[in-house]
Amino acid sequence: MTSRNLHYDELAATAAKLLADMRSDPSGDFSPSIYETARLVALTPSLSGHQKRIRFLLDQQRADGSWGGPDSYSLIPTLSATDALLATSQHAGTNGGIGAGEVVRAAERGLSWLRQALGPGTVAVLPDTVAVEILAPGLVSAINLRLDRLTALPPAHLDREWTPGRLSPPPESSSALLDRIREAVLDGRHLPVKLLHSLEVLGSDTCGAAVPVASSGSIGCSPAATAAWLGDDRVRRGHPSVRYLEQVQEPHTGAVPVAAPLGLFERAWILGTLGSTGITTLAPHVLLDSLREGLGDDGAAGGDGLPPDADDTAAALYALALHGQPRHAGPLWTYWTEEKGGHVSCFPGERTPSTSTNAHALQAFATAADPDTGDARRRASAIRSIAHWLREQQTPDGYWTDKWHASPYYATACCTVALAKYGGTEAKAPVAAAARWALATQRPEGSWGRWSGTYEETAYAVQILLCAGSPVDDVTAEAAARGCRYLAENGDLTAHPPLWHDKDLYVPTRIVRTEGLAALHAARSDPRTAALLHEIGDHSGRESTRSAGNAVC
């Protein structure tokens, strides 16, 4: 058996384990969210696991008093966690064996950080995360109300003087929009489905509101929104949706993901990525069936309780096409806009467009079935328009950024791979520019990353270099091989830095592992890179593939 065949067999074995694991877990494998977990602490202290969640928040606080990701990504998690700990300090007896003084001191450290971040003369830059423009003022308002009460009755168990002081919302936020949403809920008016995912921003005003409850028992696919809608009284009375909150908790920490369940999102991405490597015969029919069944006239939704969107629609269409089940592109036209030459929007009326969504739409349009000649001509026009729009979004340095991910390596990988295969001859220059950017930004140990080298971003960079469709020269092959060595050395990681955007940064763990497999497959499939990997040590590729399988499965 040749080394190439051995590699493919090992990749297939790992993929089979991953697919089996995904089949048995319809909710998906996603990291816990500081923001979302803190909302449960503040809103539903009677829910089982409350003390574990408090401990989770205390353990996740950094030395400077903040929570969450780097840079501006700390703001929303720190607001949420600080408010939760202030709420805990107001409700004696809800923190179990955790010392009241520990909770209050952690809250004060959070307040100290927030006063600096939101203080006079400081301009807080909001990240382009979900609903950030209303979450920021909503959380600031909630904290200020608690501070007003605590000022009248300062918390005990402090070893220094209590320092009250109200916070000001970031100037980029929209208190006016938040007020309009609150008014609509209190008046009993129907909200757009996409707003349900962030309904917890209204706090107790949303308790019992007339909103649709998903089959999972959730509101808007969000533990936090569900907790706000339930309210603590209905938690104590054992409302049916309490089961949803109990099921999505991590057993040891009580923490919850930023959204759940997200079965279609995870399945579409993984089946599409595996399909691009040629792994198509292993996909269980039940997984492909779930994608077909999830596609309606308006497309597919990533999870139960979410509205359909262009990204999940395109991912599902592309995955089905790669697995020999192409469908017509009808649902994707729902999101077409003629603005700036024509491209797709994630949702109708979205705030900012997405490069990765349009890259996925390019792949979906290019592989869709044609019900008639007119549809084929329309698809061809859309392919040209999206490719042109993507080229215009590329930065002068050669990379792309995106609203759904903190790292430019994700967006650049999405755009590069899609343009290289379906963007025509005009895509050659931007694809080459992306590869040059990846070469120039590799770290000394062989990794890539925005803030530090990571497994996920290294997998994207290797794909940028090798899946772009251009001939691989010696310099590119050597960089890709060094990246694969890093992947091999870190293939047994079970935790990754959160880089994906929702209300908080999160990790779709199985998707990240699959991207690593795709990068390794691309490297082993390129003759020059494969030869260098053999020189590094043929066992590296095999061990990394095995490690990836162990980490996922």
Give DSSP secondary structure letters for 205-247.
Answer: GGTT-S-PPPTTS-BTTBHHHHHHHHHHHHHHTT-TTHHHHHH
pTM, two decimals, is 0.93
In tens, the pLDDT along 177-233 reads: 999 999 999 988 888 898 999 999 999 999 989 999 999 999 999 999 999 999 999
Q: What are the tokens at 106?
A: 């952690």
Are residues 402 and 416 both part of a single domain? yes
Residue found by looking up tokens 């090992």 in the block? 10
pLDDT reported for residue 548:
40
pLDDT reported for residue 164:
64
Is the CA virtual torsion 231, 260, 27, 60 positive or negative? negative
Are residues 87 and 19 both part of a single domain? no
Are residues 130 and 81 both part of a single domain? yes
User: Residue 418 in contact with residue 363, Cβ under 8 Å?
Assistant: yes
Are residues 438 and 494 both part of a single domain? yes
Q: Is 50 helix (H, G, I), strand (E, B) or coil?
A: helix
Listed residue (467, 3, 12) closest to 276, CA to CA: 467
Q: In this structure, which amino acid lies at residue 307?
A: P
Q: Is residue 246 situated within a structural domain?
A: no
Write out the residue range of the structural domain in which residue 143 sits: 34-184
Q: What are the tokens at 304?
A: 């139960």
Are residues 65 and 17 both part of a single domain? no
Q: Is residue 251 situated within a structural domain?
A: no
Instruction: For residues 551 and 522, give the distance between their C-alpha atoms in angstroms, rounded to a whole number.
Output: 20
pLDDT reported for residue 536:
59
pLDDT reported for residue 551:
32
The CA-based dihedral angle spanning residues 506, 48, 242, 507, taken in that order and rounded to the nearest 10 degrees:
10
Cα-flanking dihedrals φ and ψ of residue 65, to 5°? 100, -5
Are residues 294 and 170 both part of a single domain? no
Q: Is residue 252 situated within a structural domain?
A: no
pLDDT in tens, the chain (553 residues): 455 555 666 777 888 888 999 999 989 999 999 999 999 999 999 999 999 999 999 999 999 999 999 999 999 999 999 999 999 987 755 565 688 889 999 999 999 999 999 987 776 789 999 999 999 999 999 999 999 888 777 766 655 566 667 899 998 888 999 999 999 999 888 888 989 999 999 999 999 899 999 999 999 999 999 999 999 999 999 999 999 999 999 999 999 999 999 999 999 999 999 999 888 778 899 999 999 999 999 999 999 999 999 999 999 999 999 999 999 999 999 999 988 789 999 998 787 899 999 999 999 999 999 877 778 899 999 999 999 999 999 999 999 999 999 999 999 999 999 999 999 999 999 999 999 999 999 999 999 999 999 999 999 999 999 976 556 799 999 999 999 999 989 988 888 999 999 999 999 999 999 999 999 999 988 888 989 987 655 443 343 444 443 332 2
- Identify the domain boundary among 165, 184, 203: 184
Q: Is residue 360 situated within a structural domain?
A: yes
188 Cβ partners below 8 Å, 6+ apart?
A: 209, 210
pLDDT reported for residue 539:
40
CATH of the domain at 543: 1.50.10.20
pLDDT reported for residue 61:
98
Are residues 62 and 10 both part of a single domain? no
Q: Is residue 241 situated within a structural domain?
A: no
Alpha helices in 24-131 (DSSP H): 34-43, 50-60, 75-90, 100-117
DSSP line for 199-212: GGGGGGGGTT-S-P
Q: Is residue 219 situated within a structural domain?
A: no
Are residues 13 and 72 both part of a single domain? no
Q: What are the tokens at 63?
A: 């030395």
Are residues 90 and 64 both part of a single domain? yes
DSSP 190: P
Q: Is 506 helix (H, G, I), strand (E, B) or coil?
A: strand
Q: How many domains does the chain have?
A: 2
Judged by phi (left if over 0) then psi (alpha if -120 to 50, else beta), residue 428 lies in alpha
pLDDT reported for residue 76:
97
C-alpha 128, offset from chain centre: 12
Are residues 270 and 286 both part of a single domain? yes
User: Residue 5 in contact with residue 521, Cβ under 8 Å?
Assistant: no
Distances (CA, A) of 59 to 65, 208, 335, 444: 11, 33, 42, 32
Q: Is residue 248 situated within a structural domain?
A: no
Are residues 469 and 530 both part of a single domain? yes
pLDDT reported for residue 398:
97
* Residue 189 exposed, middle or buried by CB count within 10 Å (0-12, 13-18, 19+): exposed
Instruction: For residues 456 and 451, give the distance between their C-alpha atoms in angstroms, rounded to a whole number.
Output: 12
User: Residue 450 in contact with residue 485, Cβ under 8 Å?
Assistant: no
User: Residue 453 in contact with residue 445, Cβ under 8 Å?
Assistant: yes
Is the CA virtual torsion 239, 244, 245, 250 positive or negative? positive
Are residues 8 and 96 both part of a single domain? no
- Total residues found in the chain within this entry: 553
Residue found by looking up tokens 């597919």 in the block? 300
Listed residue (360, 375, 290, 355) closest to 318, CA to CA: 360
Q: Is 339 helix (H, G, I), strand (E, B) or coil?
A: helix
Q: Is residue 109 situated within a structural domain?
A: yes
Cα-flanking dihedrals φ and ψ of residue 122, to 5°? -100, 125
- Identify the domain boundary among 184, 218, 233: 184
- Identify the domain boundary among 184, 204, 229: 184
